[in-house]
């Protein structure tokens, strides 16, 4: 697991606590789990951040931060994962969500004359809002569960390999000492 790499990228918890815009959270930001990288906080942050990334709403970082504080998972990781849906990736991701929702509801796709874009979405939202929101919710839940399971599994795999490496080192050291 690239724990050391992620720790270098994450901001210092003291800087976040003392940030003038984040003072409204008061002592809620003093929970150490919000800034630690362990299996529970990282996998929970992936679940939280991925869920909110697929919600079609402005300022997705705010509910991601709120739920990270509520569930006591890694705050910077939760907020960073929301940026999976950015202005460049939103059209294809939200079109996929719309297709999933249409498939689940059994309604035909609304024809488009041009490519799927944010402008098209705003103009056609009155017609497609049900399959679009259902698709966003379902894709958000599924990606959240898959992200949670993937991080837990990869973290566990990393630990098992680390333990096996340590065990081999001990055996080699023991063999080397016996030969001396």
Q: Given this model, what pLDDT does residue 7 score?
A: 64
Q: Which residues contact 144 (CB under 8 A, 6 or more apart)?
A: 46, 47, 48, 50, 51
Q: Given this model, what pLDDT does residue 51 score?
A: 96
Q: Given this model, what pLDDT does residue 47 score?
A: 95
Q: Where does 58-100 show beta strands of DSSP type E?
A: none
Please compute the mean of the pLDDT values over residues 49-61 and round it to a whole number.
91
Q: Given this model, what pLDDT does residue 112 score?
A: 66
Buried b (16+ CB within 10 A) or exposed e, 144-158: beebbeebbeebeee
* Reported confidence tier of residue 13, pLDDT bands at 50, 70, 90: low
Largest distance between two CA atoms of the chain:
80
Is the model's pLDDT at 29 over the cut of 80?
no
Q: Given this model, what pLDDT does residue 55 score?
A: 93
The residue among 165 and 128 whose pLDDT is bigger is 165
Q: Given this model, what pLDDT does residue 16 score?
A: 65
Q: Given this model, what pLDDT does residue 39 score?
A: 87
Taken in order 153, 154, 157, 158, the sign of the CA dihedral is: negative
Nearest to 39 by CA among 159, 160, 146, 143: 159
Place of tokens 């001990």: 170
Percentage of the chain modeled with pLDDT above 70? 77
CA atoms within 13 A on the CB side of 49: 23
Q: Given this model, what pLDDT does residue 101 score?
A: 93
* Burial of 113: CB neighbours in 10 Å, binned 0-12, 13-18, 19+: exposed
21-30, 65-74, 129-138: the lowest-pLDDT one: 21-30
Give the C-alpha distances (Å, rounded to integers) separating 151 from 24, 26, 36, 83, 109: 31, 30, 15, 18, 34
Is the model's pLDDT at 1 over the cut of 60?
no
């Amino acid at each position: 697991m690239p724990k050391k790499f992620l720790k270098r990228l994450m901001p210092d918890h003291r800087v976040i606590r003392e940030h003038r815009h984040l003072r409204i959270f008061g002592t809620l930001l003093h929970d150490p789990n919000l800034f630690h990288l362990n299996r529970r906080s990282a996998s929970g942050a992936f679940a939280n951040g991925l869920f909110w990334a697929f919600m079609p709403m402005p300022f997705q970082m705010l509910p991601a931060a709120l739920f990270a504080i509520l569930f006591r998972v890694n705050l910077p990781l939760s907020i960073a994962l929301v940026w999976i849906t950015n202005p460049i990736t939103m059209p294809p991701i939200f079109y996929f969500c719309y297709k999933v929702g249409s498939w689940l509801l059994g309604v035909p796709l609304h024809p488009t004359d041009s490519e799927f874009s944010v402008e098209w979405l705003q103009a056609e939202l009155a017609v497609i809002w049900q399959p679009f929101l259902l698709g966003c919710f379902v894709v958000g839940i599924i990606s959240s569960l898959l992200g949670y399971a993937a991080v837990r599994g990869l973290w566990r795999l990393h630990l098992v390999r680390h333990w096996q490496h340590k065990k081999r080192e001990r055996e080699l050291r023991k063999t080397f000492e016996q030969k001396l």
